[in-house]
Every structure is written in structure tokens, then in C-alpha cells.
Amino acid sequence: MKKDVTKTALITGASRGLGAALAIALCDTHHIIAVAKTTGALEELDDRIQARGGQATLAPMNITNEAAMATLCRGIFDRWGNLDMWLHTAIHAAPLTPASHIDDKDFAKSIDGNVTATARLISFVAPLLGQSGQAVFFDDPRAGTQFFGSYGASKAAQIALARSWQAETTTTGPKVHILTPDPMPTATRARFYPGESKDGLAAPADQAAALLAQI
């Protein structure tokens, strides 16, 4: 039986890992607008949401595509008029490499996906959130550690953008949250630590619940 929900949550990077877990955690109370590059994974997420009686709008697109993101945000405005939450979990995880061997193309993709796209999305989503909406970003403490140059620098820049937006909106809204998840057995982490034991890593569903409780 479908739930009658009136709130909306845009999740960028929703197909797997923390993004998918957040979508499941919120689908009882929010219509989920799920953005990711992988159509099949989004469809699997939709099946899980529907099984709980929730509803989702799937947006299989790349957040670096400016025209696609503009069209999506215009569509949100046309359909709902506003947005209650934006949770930004999308990330480009460049290969680990010494700082002296960073590949120009990998670095450019990191900046484009983690910094430029985030700045653009803030400008697109802010009017939809208005004064009462909430934006959520997820920090990562690995900036500055060995071999994490591309990922760490671009992730740190992303969070710097979020912190500036947070400081600028303390009295006007929207409310901007910056949270730090515990390590989870996600595809992104597997790229960084292949063969790592999953013992001791937090389940994404548990982290989603814990993080949402901080908002």
C-alpha cells in the first residue's frame, strides 16, 4: 500500500551505499528523487522503496551535466514547488596515487565531479529549499593522507563550499548540515581498500539512521 507523503528528498548519488540507505530510511516520510548514473541500480532501489509502500522519481543522470541538473531542478519546481531535503552523497573516487604522479585527467574529473558540480547544484537547489529546507553533506577525514591527493583535495574543497553555505545561511535558511559517517563497506571504499575485511565496518542502513538522527 502506497504511503501518502507530502515531503520531498533529493538524493544525489542514490543508487548504492549510503545514498541508497538514506533513500530507504526516508521513503516512509518523503517522496524520493533519486539521482545516479546507473539506471539498473536505481531501478533496484525503486523496487525496494515500492516494497515499503514508498514512492520515488528516478533520475538516471550525471551530476556533472549542467543541462540535465537544471532540467531536473526545474522539474522539481514545476511538480512540487519546493524541496524539503537535499542529501549529497555523489562522489568521484579517483585512483589512489602519490601526489607527484597524479594524472591530469583523473584530477580534472575529481574537481568537476566533487567541486564544480557541487557548487552548481548549490545554486540550483538553494531556491528550491528556500528558508525551511535542509541540505546535508558528508565529510571525509582522509584529506591530506598519503595517496589521497585527488580525492582528498577535491572532497575538502567540496566541504569548504558546504561550510561557506552553512555560515551564510545560519539566520536565513536553508539549514545546512555537514556530517561525518563512520567507515562503511561501500563500492567507493572498496576502490580505496581492495580486499579489506568488512569486519568492524558500519552497515550503511545503520549509518543512515544514525546520521539522520543528527539532523
Greater pLDDT, 56 or 5: 56
Residue 214 forms part of a structural domain: no
Number of domains in the chain: 1
Neighbouring residues of 70: CB distance < 8 A, sequence distance ≥ 6:
124
Residue 139 forms part of a structural domain: yes
Query: Would you place residue 6 in the very low, low, confident or very high pLDDT band (cuts 50, 70, 90)?
Result: confident
Residue 215 forms part of a structural domain: no
Determine the structural domain holding residue 166 and report its residue range. Answer: 7-208
Q: For the segment 149-208, what is each residue's pLDDT rounded down to a tens digit?
A: 999 999 999 999 999 999 999 999 999 999 999 999 998 999 999 999 999 999 999 999
pLDDT at 82 over 60: yes
Q: What is the C-alpha separation between 112 and 13, in angstroms, rounded? A: 15
Residue 146 in grid coordinates? 598519503
Q: What is the C-alpha separation between 46 and 98, in angstroms, rounded? A: 39
Query: Would you place residue 2 in the very low, low, confident or very high pLDDT band (cuts 50, 70, 90)?
Result: low
pTM of the model: 0.95
pLDDT at 85: 98
Residue 125 in grid coordinates? 537547489
Residue 1 forms part of a structural domain: no
β-partners of residue 59 are 35
Residue 213 forms part of a structural domain: no
Q: Name the helix (H) or strand (E) containing 178.
A: strand 175-179
Q: For the segment 10-38, what is each residue's pLDDT rounded down to a tens digit?
A: 999 999 999 999 999 999 999 999 999 99
Residue 194 forms part of a structural domain: yes
Residue 136 forms part of a structural domain: yes
Residue 184 in grid coordinates? 562503511
- Mean pLDDT for 84-89 is 98
Q: Tell me the three state secondary structure of residue 177.
A: strand
What CATH number corresponds to the domain at position 11? 3.40.50.720
Helices (H), the chain: 17-26, 39-51, 66-80, 104-111, 117-129, 149-168, 187-192, 204-212
Q: What is the C-alpha separation between 155 and 114, in angstroms, rounded? A: 6
Residue 42 forms part of a structural domain: yes
Residue 182 in grid coordinates? 563512520
Residue 101 in grid coordinates? 604522479
Helix 17-26 / helix 204-212 crossing angle, nearest 10 deg: 60
pLDDT at 170: 97
Q: What is the DSSP letter of 134?
A: E
Query: Would you place residue 110 in the very low, low, confident or very high pLDDT band (cuts 50, 70, 90)?
Result: very high
β-partners of residue 34 are 11, 58
pLDDT at 5: 80
Neighbouring residues of 136: CB distance < 8 A, sequence distance ≥ 6:
85, 86, 87, 88, 176, 177, 178, 179, 211, 215
